[in-house]
Structure 1
């Protein structure tokens, strides 16, 4: 659908509903159709050859591309301010497809010292198996980046806000130094979503999201997406997605993400409003030792967060004076907030990385917490319930039930 507005792009909310789709081209169907097919037919051999050779746009096989997937990619790319995107079967599939497309044996990648635990495993254990050196750097001080760069460095990768701590990194400052060294910057912006933060506007080159989280928002599917310039995304689709991971997002899942995307902006506004109220309560509670929430006035990097984010999102971490044992007891007293490992759902969820680690070590003895993640830390994903009910639940749990 094309609507002409002199000198003005359609707004974020409008594009989240209409971008890339005209109902009149699909028999008037207001909701986009779901193309449930694994393969696509051609009128003749020449037409098939033209699609395979990238001479014309078209669809060949569902593992590479599908019209429902294409609409999702175009829509999220528009919201993120990217030229193109590649959807994948999970956030980790998106990250892996990107890394395997852009990195080769002998290359180096700089990553922040704290990452989502599965990304930590990929960078700490997975990439080195294929001859790719991973250099961990504390990017909370951007100047640290310069000393870590070598002639073999190709990418700088970090999350902001960071999973699970909720800490914020300065995208613009890191990107400036990375670009001076000729490097590309990749930002995992899952905790914020494009409704609150668009890293490309602050100098990043590529953005990744777990679609599982806020962009879908309803906790009922897995998905991921990589976004950036068209040439790089073409490479990610042709290499990483097509045969290195084969991790395609199904047409049905694409449709469900498109449905969730339509309410992203209004959901993120409410997530942020609820979370700020909860963070302020926790910050004032005598049982709480520390709260990390980007828009909390007492948060040390609050100015950076407000510079690059339109809202604080729904994610925070906090610790109690009672430490690990107190955290486990408090979590067990919660009645409304669910003990669960995901985030970004309409339901509020809480998890304890240290407790999860203790259980995981029974299967993977080498498992360890990321830098800056203490055994006392709890990660809280604030949903869309009434804030007063969430606050009451946390208070009764903190006060001993």
Structure 2
């Protein structure tokens, strides 16, 4: 069978069907070279010049990502933030951006500073009233509409197809942060997105041992070329070893995401209407505000991320987190281990996150162990 005929699970598990031509090895090597030899005619017939722009180890990870997202091309970056800011760095003074009120907090803060410094317009729409974005988009001026779905840490689900139509009608591009969904569950390009962003540190790597980001483009057009130049000019590339670890992590992506989703769904259902929990925020619950949208654009599960609003307010939430014994108190998400974070105190002043909210990244541990740990922590209230 040709690669084009293979399912995403097979392509990921076999690293695009890689077999080393010289040794027969089924594990891709790490290419540590920073520079490459020219041919006698001073050309680079093998396509590699300098690792700040291209490296064979990057290429295999990028090819797999492009296939998983059904994109025309992919680029990996040194961090999720590097990938997230690169599209905005192609903008010019006078351009305009529309983004949601609930999104990755570090990117939101960066956008506020960057757009103010460079004379770029910026408007935020309320994720609870996503149709309000239609009043903010300016035809011919808005260049990027940015959304995150599900949106961290309330897990609102935004309709990618609707936002794509809105952006394209104004001559803008739709960029989607799909870190929480992963290509296992949602492929935004299939719903009309122009660009997909992932913090590869999270589910793509999946083992909490690589810092990285990724962008996948629907079209390899001039704008994509500008983004590529931004990466090269600013040295936003991963190291080859990190790129190799990312590729290794993606080989188990489908197994990990599906198990985490199963665990998260079961935990959400178990604690729904729990007397010590005010509400469970998870797209897989019919009571969640984004459930109908999630049904349309999420496949085979609703992801491993959920939040619990603890009855009793901030003090109670902090106490529950302090008494967890199996679930670790740590920032980040998407690893094989379960993590919890009192997100409001991390984001600080101005955060839209309720102070009674605990954000959970549910891992692949035994479900009973996770539920028992949460129950005993809640019993301390």
Same fold (TM over 0.5): yes
Gaps spanning 5+ residues in structure 1: where?
49-55, 359-366
Contact 2:19 2:25 in 1 (8 A): yes
Does residue 1:356 correspond to 2:340, yes or no? no
Contact 1:145 1:178 in 2 (8 A): no
Does residue 1:264 correspond to 2:261, yes or no? no
Candidates 297, 317, 342, aligned match of 1:327: 317
Q: Which residue of 1 aligns with 2:96?
A: 108
Q: 1:39-92 CA deviation, whole Å, 9 max, x = no partner? A: 1111225314xxxxxxx7611111111010011111011000101011100100
Taking a change above 3 Å as real, the CA distance of residues 81 and 308 of structure 1, as seen in their structure-2 partners, is same
Stretch moving more, 382-391 or 299-308: 299-308
- May I ask how many residue pairs the two structures share in their alignment? 377
Tell me the TM-score normalised to structure 2 length: 0.95
Q: Which residue of 2 aligns with 1:312?
A: 302
Does residue 1:385 correspond to 2:362, yes or no? no
CA drift at 1:368: 2.4
Contact 2:15 2:251 in 1 (8 A): no
Gaps spanning 5+ residues in structure 2: where?
none
- SS of residue matched to 2:182: coil
Q: Which residue of 2 aligns with 1:131?
A: 119
Distance in 1, Cα, partners of 2:271 & 2:373: 12
Candidates 224, 227, 232, aligned match of 1:236: 227
Tell me the TM-score normalised to structure 1 length: 0.90
Q: Which residue of 2 aligns with 1:16?
A: 12
Distance in 1, Cα, partners of 2:261 & 2:99: 27
Contact 2:142 2:171 in 1 (8 A): no
Q: 1:122-175 CA deviation, whole Å, 9 max, x = no partner? A: 111223212222111125544322211223210100100111221211111111
Does residue 1:341 correspond to 2:324, yes or no? no
CA drift at 1:375: 1.5
Contact 2:76 2:83 in 1 (8 A): yes
Q: 1:284-338 CA deviation, whole Å, 9 max, x = no partner? A: 3100001110111221321211210111111011211200010011111101100
Give the CA RMSD over aligned residues. Answer: 1.7
Taking a change above 3 Å as real, the CA distance of residues 125 and 314 of structure 1, as seen in their structure-2 partners, is same
Candidates 132, 137, 143, aligned match of 1:154: 143
